[in-house]
């Protein structure tokens, strides 16, 4: 399953460390993990990062940046405390962020829930008395989890998002924490690449369950590349068999791990719909599972959910990119599973349209 989430009633610092060490991360007042993310109509690998702190030393360029900002701005730190001032800053920041964010800071951190399972603290940066940046992080027993950084775009030349993350790292070093977890990057989508500037980060290898230097990872081995390669083979086989088919983006894939009632629904972010255009409420879908290197053919029942698009946000499909399927696809029957794309194409021929 490419998305998993748990909703603990309580979470000790040691429990948080254990989840973070397995490539999990905070979402509101729950904790989750995922293999893929969708950005602007494309699918990317989610590469979870951590920074070892035991022997960490700031690079000279980072030290200079921290010194300049420390001399120019006032910095405060303490337990998280929401305020109108922070909500105003969040709203300004949200309007310029290139991806969907929660409608408010309170919802982003707490989701409207009364639960408080994380030990959350914040850094605040002021230009005289004007709040211009703020970041939030959670304390584990030996690890720190960077949750969210916001800043006023008028001060973007000061790289305040990076600066507050460096403040969190400094806090971790001084507090003798072992690891700092900044979240994920999505190679090929540069918005989050600033996290790679903080030092020699490690990435979580979901296939081996090990942390490895990010610099050692082969781009061609990343999940999105393996998925793309498998789908290309499937496309070629279906093309050779003259089978009508269309590549579909499937934003609801991430719901399967968030709701146990959706266990038997499609979990892939991309699939080929064979014989597209049939309006009988069913879909013949061909998929590729990169972990097992297998191709699957399933008959799915289409289930329209009127609020699904609002819940998932705009998939922002790009011109020339795959169309987004916003129906829930529930598996009715698995027609076949094989490591041969050609075998799937032959099976599609036998099954025909549904």
Q: Indicate if 59 and 169 belong to the same structural domain.
A: yes
In this predicted structure, what is the pLDDT of residue 1?
A: 65
Q: Indicate if 306 and 245 belong to the same structural domain.
A: yes
Q: Indicate if 245 and 208 belong to the same structural domain.
A: no
In this predicted structure, what is the pLDDT of residue 99?
A: 67
Residue 81's CB is within 10 A of a number of other CB atoms, namely: 10
Q: Indicate if 342 and 204 belong to the same structural domain.
A: no
Confidence label for 43 from pLDDT (cuts 50, 70 and 90): very high
Q: Indicate if 166 and 228 belong to the same structural domain.
A: no
Nearest to 26 by CA among 102, 124, 132: 102
Q: Indicate if 138 and 274 belong to the same structural domain.
A: no
| Integer CA distances (angstroms), 24 to 35, 114, 142, 223, 301, in order | 10, 22, 15, 17, 31
In this predicted structure, what is the pLDDT of residue 321?
A: 81
Question: Which structure tokens are listed for 149?
Answer: 């950084």
The mean per-residue pLDDT over the stretch 45-67 comes to: 96
Total domains present in the chain: 2
In this predicted structure, what is the pLDDT of residue 136?
A: 98
User: What pTM, to 2 d.p., does this model score?
Assistant: 0.91
Confidence label for 259 from pLDDT (cuts 50, 70 and 90): low
Q: DSSP per residue over 188-235, as a string?
A: TBGGGGGGGGGSS-EEEETTTTEEEEGGG--GGGSHHHHHHHHHHHHH
> Is pLDDT above 60 for 354?
no
Q: Indicate if 312 and 201 belong to the same structural domain.
A: no
Condensed to tens digits (0 to 9), the pLDDT of residues 88-140 reads: 999 999 988 866 788 999 999 998 888 899 999 999 999 999 999 999 999 99
Where is the domain boundary, 156, 182, 217? 217
Q: Are 49 and 181 in contact (CB under 8 A)?
A: yes
Per the structure, the complete domain to which residue 265 belongs is given by: 223-351
Bridge partners for 206 per DSSP: none
Q: Are 20 and 180 in contact (CB under 8 A)?
A: no
Where is the domain boundary, 217, 233, 253? 217
Where is the domain boundary, 160, 195, 217? 217
CATH number at 105 reads 3.40.630.30
Q: Indicate if 193 and 233 belong to the same structural domain.
A: no
Check residue 30 and report its DSSP letter.
E
Confidence label for 27 from pLDDT (cuts 50, 70 and 90): very high
Rounded to 5 degrees, φ, ψ at 69 are -70, -35
In this predicted structure, what is the pLDDT of residue 163?
A: 96
E strand or H helix that includes residue 79: strand 74-79
> Is pLDDT above 80 for 278?
no
Mean pLDDT of the chain: 92
Q: Indicate if 88 and 57 belong to the same structural domain.
A: yes
Report the distance separating Cα 35 and Cα 314, nearest Å. 20
Question: Which structure tokens are listed for 118?
Answer: 């994380």
Confidence label for 315 from pLDDT (cuts 50, 70 and 90): low
């Amino acid at each position: 399953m490419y998305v998993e989430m748990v909703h603990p009633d309580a979470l000790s610092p040691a429990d948080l460390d254990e989840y973070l060490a397995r490539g999990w991360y905070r979402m509101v007042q729950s904790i989750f993990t995922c293999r893929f993310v969708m950005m602007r109509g494309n699918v990317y690998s989610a590469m979870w990062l951590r920074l070892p702190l035991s022997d960490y030393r700031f690079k000279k360029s980072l030290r200079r940046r921290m010194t300049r900002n420390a001399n120019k701005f006032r910095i405060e730190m303490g337990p998280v405390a929401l305020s109108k001032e922070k909500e105003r800053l969040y709203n300004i920041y949200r309007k310029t962020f290139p991806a969907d964010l929660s409608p408010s800071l309170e919802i982003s951190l707490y989701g409207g829930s009364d639960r408080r399972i994380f030990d959350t603290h914040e850094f605040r940066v002021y230009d005289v008395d004007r709040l211009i940046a703020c970041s939030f992080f959670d304390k584990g027993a030996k690890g720190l989890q960077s949750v969210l950084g916001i800043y006023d775009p008028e001060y973007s030349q000061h790289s305040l998002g990076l600066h507050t993350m460096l403040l969190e790292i400094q806090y971790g070093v001084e507090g003798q924490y072992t690891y700092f977890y900044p979240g994920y990057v999505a190679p090929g989508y540069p918005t989050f690449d600033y996290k790679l500037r903080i030092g020699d980060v490690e990435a979580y290898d979901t296939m081996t369950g090990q942390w490895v230097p990010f610099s050692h990872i082969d781009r061609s081995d990343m999940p999105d590349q393996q998925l793309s390669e498998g789908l290309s083979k499937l496309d070629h086989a279906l093309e050779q068999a003259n089978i009508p088919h269309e590549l579909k983006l499937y934003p609801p894939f991430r719901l399967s791990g968030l709701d146990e009632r959706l266990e038997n629904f499609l979990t892939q972010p991309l699939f080929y719909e064979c014989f597209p255009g049939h309006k009988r409420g069913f879909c013949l879908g061909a998929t590729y599972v990169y972990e097992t290197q297998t191709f699957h053919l399933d008959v799915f029942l289409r289930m329209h959910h009127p609020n699904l698009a609002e819940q998932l946000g705009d998939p922002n499909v790009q011109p020339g990119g795959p169309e987004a399927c916003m129906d829930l696809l529930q598996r009715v029957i698995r027609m076949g599973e094989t490591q041969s794309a050609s075998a799937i194409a032959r099976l599609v021929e036998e099954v025909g349209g549904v």
